[in-house]
Structure 1
Amino acid sequence: MEDAAGQLAEAQSLLARALAGSDERMLRDDALLELTATAEAVGRLADALRIRAAGEVAFRSRRELGEDRLSARKGCRNAVELLARVTLASERTITQRMRLGAAVRPRTALSGDTMPARFEQVASALAAGTLGYDSALAIVDTLDPIRARVGDLNVELAETALVAAATGPTAESPLPFAADEVRGQARVWENVLDEDGTVPAEERAMAARGISGGLTRDGLVHRKMALLPEIDAKFETLLNAYLSPRSKPTFNDTDPDQPKDPRATAQARHDVFASLIDGAARSAAAPTMGGAAPTVLVSVRQADLAAGAGSGFIEGCEAPISLGAVEQFICAGGQQHVLIGDDGTLVSLSTTDRVFNAAQRRAISLRDGGCIIPGCTIPAAWSEIHHVIAYRDGGETETCNGVLLCWFHHRTIETSGWRILMIDGVPHVKPPPWLRNGRTDAETPWRRSTSSRTQLADLLEQQRERQPVLVE
């Protein structure tokens, strides 16, 4: 066993040479699938060894050993840091390996005798290469927390059934269960064995709920959300209400083939969430900061803004934003000019300009009813006000030059192809070319757009009055 590392290095070298000249793109379908299955089998054996090694490193680095623990002797705070330095794996992956490693590592009694692992059957299947990492994690993570309440025998019974299902075949299935199926079966066993576990589970959920701080990567801020089921259900229902097929953008009433929303589902959900945040920030119930509504500060150099090139910066966020995003902030929230001298001193500060006030917003909301892009169902309270003629082009901050757009349509109004024209103070829209059914721009009329129920009632009344009167 002392030469295990050398034997593994030799096996690694053989594997590297075997794969050096291979190209999966040249394989026939069946050969590709065979290669995929074989690679997974090799990976299961490697995973089993990584799990056992992580468990052993964690055991030798346990806190009760004090300065004699392995991690301390290697100059690391704990086993996670030590393993991260050795493996270069993520903290999340290392923590999972350590948790599995502890579950499948043989235990030592106070007498010094060796005892079976907490999950002996999982350990055996992992070592044999018949049980995958994900399935093992599903079994251990589901059954281990309920062991104290249901007893070792019940956990062992469930473990036996789950390992059999994951390695298959069984009487119930001719094929082994995939990892997701194993996790589902494990949840069923949990409910059967721990009938009174709902309340403790809810207590744990209450303690674990939360939304983590954001980590900026690739221009996006990544957060983790752990929502209580009832909160997630409300959130999901709200998203679904605004993402139903009836809410998809459409323009031509006579076209039986409704065009698809160009956004992916996850993107559309993000945009509805953005509108929710905007609506909440403008709510009268929102708390104030320094006597003013919560305000996101975005800074950009005047030279960059004038040139239309460069980046802006949001206070408290690492990622820069494009000039297009800056323009959207300015259009919806206004701007202040801050003159800073060469030595960094504040020279002057202008008053906020080009902001639609509360009275103007109420009037525009009554007129438009919500986002004016046909088919969009985002309500007025969640929408932003867009200058139809841009402020930089001489457009005024007046109701006759402002229309409601949701966050997504405001962000993409310059690139999506939708056009807006105010005719006698009333917003009219023209669809992008891909929604015109081959008609030219001249053949496509401007159409009045509103979702205000009173405005719609007026339009219907006008249509009724234009209908010819039949005289018998």
Structure 2
Amino acid sequence: MLADSWRVRLAGEVGARSLRELGEDRLSAKKGCRNAVELLARITLASERTLTQRMRLGAAVRPRTALTGDTLPAAFPAASAALRAGALGYDSAAAIIDTLDPIRSRVGDLNLERAETALVAAATGPTVESPLPFSADEVRGQARVWEQVLDPDGTEPVEERAMQARGISAGLTRDGLVHRKMALLPEIDAKFETLLNAYLNPRSKPTFTDADPDAPKDPRATAQARHDVFASLIDGAARSADAPRIGGAAPTVLVSVRQADLDRRCGSGFIEGCDAALSMRAVEQFVCAGGTQTVLIGDDGRLISLSTSDRVFNAQQRRAITLRDGGCIIPGCTIPAAWSEIHHVIAHRDGGKTETCNGVLLCWFHHRTIETSGWQILMIDGVPHVKPPPWLRGGRSDAETPWRRSTKSRTQLADQLEAASAAESRAGSSPTRC
């Protein structure tokens, strides 16, 4: 714990000597760094996230300077003394300070001092309540109790506090996933939840015919399905005409991949600003939906040539495919056309052209899994037809399973319904033969 103490104290000291108010005299500027976090990162090689937390704690446990120049005690003197002595651990100190500091202005220094003293005593133990020191999680729970006791209602309205606390954190990459924390206002969360539920519930989708016999039960966990709806929502928002332009173009994610890896269909791709590498399957989905642009770089790192963007369905083609397909063409999927990507039925690498007769609408999830899910797509006279995976065929072989026309377009469905009704009428009025 002494090592933790020194890390926090030194981070707080570097932060204090690198305040923006000090101008060119700040320590970070003298060392050629833009701020204290960069300076500490270069010295310690720790992550900026960790260093920011240490600096925040360090500022709370170091002596303060008044406007008169006088030295004042630390904002949390009991935690500061226990931390310096090595009796208080980093996590317990963070639990105390992170919980109590936001309510200081509402409960006053005297009440906060009572809570701090009791929490430090519990964390360093023993106390009357416990013969052993509290763990960091127990300290945080106890701190929450003090928070409720000292500030049951809050002089600041709950809604105003919620407005200040709302946000979506920057992502932290771990195990191939980017983890973010979201704190949504209740009305925003309600809208988001309703939107997700609407597209996860097939009964919310109006249809012209009876229930789709080929509509599969969704194999995804609820959380996975919610993620995929959100992914489609993001795609739709990025393509919207109302989306802000970046460099004169719609918001575009740039993925870099070596041509040799793309040709071999192995290796990884990379997104600027994202720590996680992309699988080749993800790269190929980007290529299919967003096209490619070839950049030729010489052995010496010099940029030699840049091709124009190709393999991209233009706006006119997208409108035509949207009118024909009406949404993701996989039966049972309710993702609308505006949120769907355009998939090359015959891949470009196999000679497929970027034409309306070779493009179909697929949602993000079905586009990502089209080669592994078992769903088959075939264009017959320019019309999309599908076959379900083997597990949905009721024991029928591939040869025994017919291709089925697939569309979510209401006008197309209306035409099909009229044609079916006309056929039934003709069959009913024709003379029967014995």
Shorter-chain TM-score bucket reads 0.5 to 0.7
8 A contact 2:107–2:150 mirrored in 1: no
User: Quick check: 1:426 aligned with 2:371?
Assistant: no
Aligned ranges 1:275-294 → 2 under 5 Å: 275-289=232-246, 291-294=248-251
Letter in 1 for 2:389: P
| Cα pair distance change 1:100/1:151, threshold 3 Å | same
User: Quick check: 1:261 aligned with 2:215?
Assistant: no
Letter in 1 for 2:105: A
User: Quick check: 1:241 aligned with 2:201?
Assistant: no
Question: How far off its partner does 1:326 sit?
Answer: 3.3
| Cα pair distance change 1:224/1:306, threshold 3 Å | closer
In 1, Cα distance between equivalents of 2:7 and 2:305: 59
Gaps of 5+ in 1: 1-45, 108-113, 171-175
Letter in 2 for 1:149: R
Aligned to 1:391: 348
Aligned ranges 1:66-85 → 2 under 5 Å: none
Aligned to 2:392: 435
| Cα pair distance change 1:294/1:211, threshold 3 Å | same
Q: Deviations over 1:31-69 (max 9, x none)?
A: xxxxxxxxxxxxxxx6xx6766666667887848x9xxx
In 1, Cα distance between equivalents of 2:201 and 2:303: 54
| Cα pair distance change 1:247/1:339, threshold 3 Å | farther
Q: Identify the match of residue 334 of structure 2 among 357, 362, 377.
A: 377
Q: Identify the match of residue 444 of structure 1 among 372, 378, 401.
A: 401
8 A contact 1:51–1:101 mirrored in 2: no
In 1, Cα distance between equivalents of 2:225 and 2:369: 13
User: Quick check: 1:346 aligned with 2:317?
Assistant: no
Question: How far off its partner does 1:387 sit?
Answer: 1.4
User: Quick check: 1:274 aligned with 2:231?
Assistant: yes
**Structure 2 counterpart SS, 1:427:** strand
User: Quick check: 1:335 aligned with 2:295?
Assistant: no
8 A contact 1:150–1:193 mirrored in 2: no
Question: How far off its partner does 1:368 sit?
Answer: 1.4
8 A contact 1:282–1:293 mirrored in 2: yes
8 A contact 1:121–1:163 mirrored in 2: yes
Structure 1 length-normalised TM: 0.61
Question: How far off its partner does 1:308 sit?
Answer: 3.0
8 A contact 1:216–1:318 mirrored in 2: yes
8 A contact 1:427–1:449 mirrored in 2: yes
In 2, Cα distance between equivalents of 1:288 and 1:104: 45
Q: Deviations over 1:52-98 (max 9, x none)?
A: 6666667887848x9xxxx99xx9x9999999999997665576577
8 A contact 2:106–2:154 mirrored in 1: yes
Question: How far off its partner does 1:120 sit?
Answer: 5.7
- Across the aligned residues of Structure 1 and Structure 2, the Cα RMSD in angstroms comes to 5.5
Structure 2 length-normalised TM: 0.66
In 1, Cα distance between equivalents of 2:195 and 2:92: 32
More displaced stretch, 90-99 vs 318-327: 90-99
In 2, Cα distance between equivalents of 1:321 and 1:215: 16
Q: Identify the match of residue 154 of structure 2 among 176, 185, 194.
A: 194
Q: Deviations over 1:280-300 (max 9, x none)?
A: 222122344554444444454
In 1, Cα distance between equivalents of 2:266 and 2:165: 47
8 A contact 1:287–1:293 mirrored in 2: yes
| Cα pair distance change 1:199/1:317, threshold 3 Å | closer
Aligned to 2:323: 366
In 1, Cα distance between equivalents of 2:63 and 2:295: 67
| Cα pair distance change 1:179/1:456, threshold 3 Å | farther
| Cα pair distance change 1:369/1:122, threshold 3 Å | farther
Gaps of 5+ in 2: 20-26, 65-71, 130-134, 205-210, 430-434
In 2, Cα distance between equivalents of 1:90 and 1:314: 20
8 A contact 1:297–1:315 mirrored in 2: yes
| Cα pair distance change 1:217/1:210, threshold 3 Å | closer
Question: How far off its partner does 1:405 sit?
Answer: 0.6
8 A contact 2:96–2:139 mirrored in 1: no
**Structure 2 counterpart SS, 1:306:** helix
Question: How far off its partner does 1:304 sit?
Answer: 4.0
Aligned to 1:457: 414
| Cα pair distance change 1:405/1:159, threshold 3 Å | same
Higher relative contact order (CA 8 A, sep 6+): 2
Aligned to 2:24: none
- Give percent identity, aligned residues only: 61
Aligned to 1:415: 372
8 A contact 1:279–1:382 mirrored in 2: yes
| Cα pair distance change 1:169/1:279, threshold 3 Å | farther
| Cα pair distance change 1:81/1:289, threshold 3 Å | closer
Q: Identify the match of residue 401 of structure 1 among 355, 358, 362.
A: 358
8 A contact 2:267–2:280 mirrored in 1: yes
| Cα pair distance change 1:211/1:60, threshold 3 Å | closer
8 A contact 1:417–1:431 mirrored in 2: yes
**Structure 2 counterpart SS, 1:192:** coil
